[in-house]
Amino acid sequence: MRNQNLKFADLFCGLGGFRLAMEKVCKERDLISDCVFSGDFDSDANKSYEANFGEKSFGDITKIHTNEIPEHDILFAGFPCQAFSICGDGKGFEDTRGTLFFDIARILQAKQPKAFVLENVKQLVSHNEGKTFARILETLENLNYQTHYKILNALDFGLPQKRERVFIVGFREPKNFVWQLKKTPIKPLREVLEKEVAENYFASEKIRENRLRSVENKIIKDELTIWHENKGGNISPLPYSCALRSGASYNYLLVNGERRLTEREMLRLQGFPEDYEIVVGYQAMRKLAGNTVAIPCVEEVLRSVMAALEKPIQNQAIKTKFTVQESLFAQI
C-alpha cells in the first residue's frame, strides 16, 4: 500500500476530525489521502470545514443520491448521537437523527468501500436493551461486511477528557483485524488551558459562590480542575474534563468552578491542532466541539484498520459475514 492514493468519504463531517486523523495516519505510513466527498447539513460546520480544508461540504446526506458520491476506499461517519445519548431523549430509530444510520447503509451498499469506521455514543450499544445496536450490526453484516466494535475512552489516548464512544469498523473482504491500541499518558490540564481569558468567559458571582460551597471539601489546593455538574446537580472537581456536550448548560463544565472553556480549549480537548481556524461564534463552536470526534482515538483506530488492510489473509477460514462481539468495557 506504500504511496497508494487512498480515497475516503467523510459523512457528517462536522469540524473534520476524521479527516485530520486520516491525513496524519496516512502520512505516517507514506500513503496519500484523498477526500473525495464530505457532507454535513449544519451551516456552521460547513463554514468551519471550508475555512480549514478549502473545500465545500456537499450538504445534507439525506438529499444526496449515491450517484453523486465518488467511489472511495474508506467511509467515515460520526453519525448523529442525540437519538441514542443519555442526555437526549433516547428515542433511537424513532428519532429522525437515528434513522440517518440507514443513509450510511445505502451508501455502503452502493459504493462498497474496502472499509468503514463509524463512531457514536457508548449508549448506542445498550439502547433499547441492545436491540438497536443488534439491528445496526445485522444491517452491516447483511451488506457482507466483517464487523468489529469497541468502546474507547479519550482519557486512554492522551486527552484530559473523559469521553467514551463506540467505534465500529468493517471490512468488505475478510481481514485478520486486531485492535492494536496504544495507551498514551493524559496531557495535564495546564497544557490545555489558556493562561489568560476574557472576562466574558467567567460565570456570575452567584454561580461561583454556590459551586464553591458545594465542593469545599473536595478541592485539592493549587491543582487545576474542571468542575462537572451532572444531571442530578452534583458537582465534582476533576483533573480532566468530562465529555463535551453540544446541548448542555453553559455551566456544566467550569474551570476551577469559575469560568467556561474557551473555543480553543474545547478544540484542544478533542485533539485539534493549534492552527485550526475558529470562524464561528462561541455558541456554534460549543455545539460543534461537543459533536466532533476525539482525534487521537480515531488515529489509533485507523492504525489498526490500516494494518489489517495491508496484510494478506492468513486464515482462509474467516468468513465475510462475521461480527466480533467485543466486551463492552474491555480494557485496552
Q: Which residues are known catalytic residues?
A: 81
At what angle are helices 101-111 and 131-142 packed, to 10 degrees? 10
Which distant-in-sequence residues (6+ apart) come within 8 Å of 49 by Cβ? 13, 14, 15, 16, 38, 40, 55, 56, 57
User: What distance in Å separates the CA atoms of residue 130 and residue 214, rounded to the nearest whole number?
Assistant: 37
Total Cβ atoms within 10 A of residue 152: 24
Please answer whether residues 302 and 117 qualify as being in contact, where contact means their C-beta atoms are separated by less than 8 angstroms.
yes
Which cell goes with 147? Answer: 464487523
Task: Give the C-alpha separation, 17 to 13, whole Å.
Answer: 8
Cβ atoms of 235 and 229 closer than 8 Å? yes
